[in-house]
Structure 1
C-alpha cells in the first residue's frame, strides 16, 4: 500500500506517480499526487479538480484513462476533505471559511507542484465544486491554463426541500450568528446504491463506497452552513455576465441531463452568455459523469479527449 495514496481490491493506485503534502493557506495540509504518462512525449498535464466530499482515490480509473492518452495528471484533495487537513477538529462536516481559500490552494498547487514538476501545456478537468472554483479563478488563470473542461459545474442548487433562495438566506443568517459550523442535516450520507442520486452504475458506486469503508478517514459528511453560504455567493458571482466576459480560456461545459443536483437549465443559461464556452449535453446521465455507466462516461471522455489538447481550428471556432 502506498504510504500516501490508498488502494482497495478493485481500485489499485496507478503506477508511475509521486505524491506528498503541501502546506496551504493558514498551514492547512493538502494531499496531492502527480501521475506520469507512459508515453515518451507527454501531450501536457491535466489538473484534475474534484467535487465536494471526493478524494484522489475516487479518480484512479479516470487518471488511468488520461495517462493512457499521453497526458499527465496532477490533482489534490481540497482543504477540509479526504487526505487533506480538516478545518473543524473532530468534526466530519464539510467546511470552509472562505471559498477564496480553495482558490488560494489551487494557485499554490499550480505554483509549487504543477509548474516546476509537470509537463506543459496545462489543462483543467474539473467536476462540480471543482468546476465552480475553476470558474471563479478563470480570469486569473489565462496565462497558465490552455483549456478547461467543466463537468456538471456547481453553479446552481436543485434537489432540495427548500429553494436555493431560502437556503441562501438561512445559510447567511447561520454564518452571521455564529452557527456557520452547523449542518442542516444529521448523520452521514447514505452509502447504499438504491438511495444514491449521482450515478446509475452499481459497480463504480460500490468501488467508491469501498474506498470510504476501508479508509473512513477520507470521508466527510454534510456541508456546513458556512460552506453553503460561501458556495452560493460564489455561484452568484461566477454566473454574472461581467465575470464571464473576463474569461478567455476556451471552456467545455459537460452537462448530464438527468442531474438532480445541478439544474440542466442553469448550465444551459450559463453557456448562452459564456462566450469562451461550448456546451455538450450527455443525455440521461447523472451528476457524477466520470463515475457513471460506460454509455455515459464514454461520451464524456470522448468529448474531453477531442477538446484536450485541441487544435487551432477549434480555438478559432471558440473565438479564443
Structure 2
C-alpha cells in the first residue's frame, strides 16, 4: 500500500474546492483476470473506529467525487474503503476506445468487489464491515449480497439502479434491442447519442446543488483521463440482466443482510416505483424516500443530503 503523502498524490488527486483527505491509504490492486484497479482507504479521525464502510460508486464516478462523503463518515467514527470500478475513473479501461463505458460480464463487477473485500479491506481495515452502494454500485451490492452474508454486517443502497424510466412496452423493446446488438457483434459500440455530454447545471438530472455540480465537473476538467462516455450495448445488456435477477423475489429472499434503501423522490434516472416494488418483496430491507431529491443523494443539496447521512448513521451500529 502507498501511505505517504507523495505516494497518495500520484494515485488520488486534489481538484478545485475538493482537496483529498489527509488520512488516506491509496494504491492499485490487480484482479485475478489481470485488471489494474485504483483504490483508497480513508482512516477514521476518531481513535476508536466502529467499523469500515465499503463504498461502491455508481457508473462514471471516481474516488475524488466521494471525498466529502468519506470525511463525513470518518468523522463519525468509520473507516471508508472504495475503489474505481474496472473500465472507469482511474482504473484500467477495457477497450481501445477508453471513453466507452464497457464491461464484459456484470459478474466481473461482483468478483472485483469480493476480491477487494478479501485482499485489500479485510487485512487492514476495521471490523465490522458495512456496504454503501450508490446507483450501479447499489445494483452490484444487491446482486452480490447473498454471497456477502458472512462478511458484511449491514448494507445501504442509494437510488439503486434497479429500473429505468419508460413504459412496459418501451422497456421490453429496449431490452430486446440492446440484447440483440450485444449478441450480434455490436457489444463494444455505444448507442447513438450516448457519448459524454457537457450539460449545464440547469439541464442536469443528478443534483439540485450548483456548488457540488461545479465541484464534480472540475474533477473531469482537472483529470480528463477520468472522462467516460455512454455505456456500450454490452454494458446495457449485462446491467439489464442483473436488474432482472435482483428484482426476482427469490433472489431478494436469499439476502440475509439487513439493508437500508434510499429512494430519491424526484429521480429521473431510476424510477422510484421500481425501487418501491423491489422493497415490497425484500423482507430484510427498509425503504426511506427523500422527497424532491434528485438521483445523486450524496451530491445533493444539504436539505436532502443531510437526511440521507442521518439515516445511515442511525442504521449502522455503533455510536456515530
Q: TM-score if structure 1 supplies the norm length?
A: 0.94
Structure 1 residue aligned with 2:114: 107
Report how far residue 189 of structure 1 moved.
2.2
Structure 2 residue aligned with 1:252: 260
Contact 1:190 1:196 (8 Å CA) reproduced: no
Structure 1 residue aligned with 2:58: 51
Structure 1 residue aligned with 2:3: none
Q: In 2, Cα distance between the equivalents of 1:157 and 1:170?
A: 15
Deviations 1:213-260 (A, max 9, x none): 110101100000000000000000011011011001000000001000
Contact 1:151 1:289 (8 Å CA) reproduced: yes
Deviations 1:119-162 (A, max 9, x none): 000001110000000000000100000000100000001169x8
Q: In 2, Cα distance between the equivalents of 1:130 and 1:192?
A: 25
Contact 1:131 1:153 (8 Å CA) reproduced: yes
Gaps of 5+ in 2: 1-5
Contact 1:254 1:281 (8 Å CA) reproduced: yes
Q: In 2, Cα distance between the equivalents of 1:97 and 1:260?
A: 27
Report how far residue 17 of structure 1 moved.
1.1
Q: In 2, Cα distance between the equivalents of 1:30 and 1:291?
A: 24
SS at match of 1:4: coil
Match of 1:142 among 137, 143, 149: 149
Q: In 2, Cα distance between the equivalents of 1:232 and 1:310?
A: 36
RMSD of aligned alpha carbons: 1.4
Q: In 1, Cα distance between the equivalents of 2:260 and 2:83?
A: 21
Report how far residue 310 of structure 1 moved.
6.0
Correspondences of 1:284-299 after superposition (within 5 Å) = 284-299=292-307
Contact 1:34 1:74 (8 Å CA) reproduced: yes
Contact 1:154 1:262 (8 Å CA) reproduced: yes
SS at match of 1:279: strand
Structure 2 residue aligned with 1:305: 313
Q: In 2, Cα distance between the equivalents of 1:41 and 1:91?
A: 42
Contact 1:151 1:255 (8 Å CA) reproduced: yes
Contact 1:150 1:253 (8 Å CA) reproduced: yes
Gaps of 5+ in 1: 312-320
Structure 2 residue aligned with 1:125: 132
Q: In 2, Cα distance between the equivalents of 1:79 and 1:118?
A: 22
Structure 2 residue aligned with 1:81: 88
Q: TM-score if structure 2 supplies the norm length?
A: 0.94
Report how far residue 191 of structure 1 moved.
3.8
Structure 2 residue aligned with 1:216: 224
1:231 aligns with 2:273: no
Query: Aligned residue pairs: how many?
Result: 310
Deviations 1:93-144 (A, max 9, x none): 1000000000110011001111001000000111000000000000010000
SS at match of 2:185: coil
Q: In 2, Cα distance between the equivalents of 1:260 and 1:201?
A: 16
Structure 2 residue aligned with 1:316: none
Distance 1:192 1:25, change over 3 A: farther
Structure 2 residue aligned with 1:202: 210
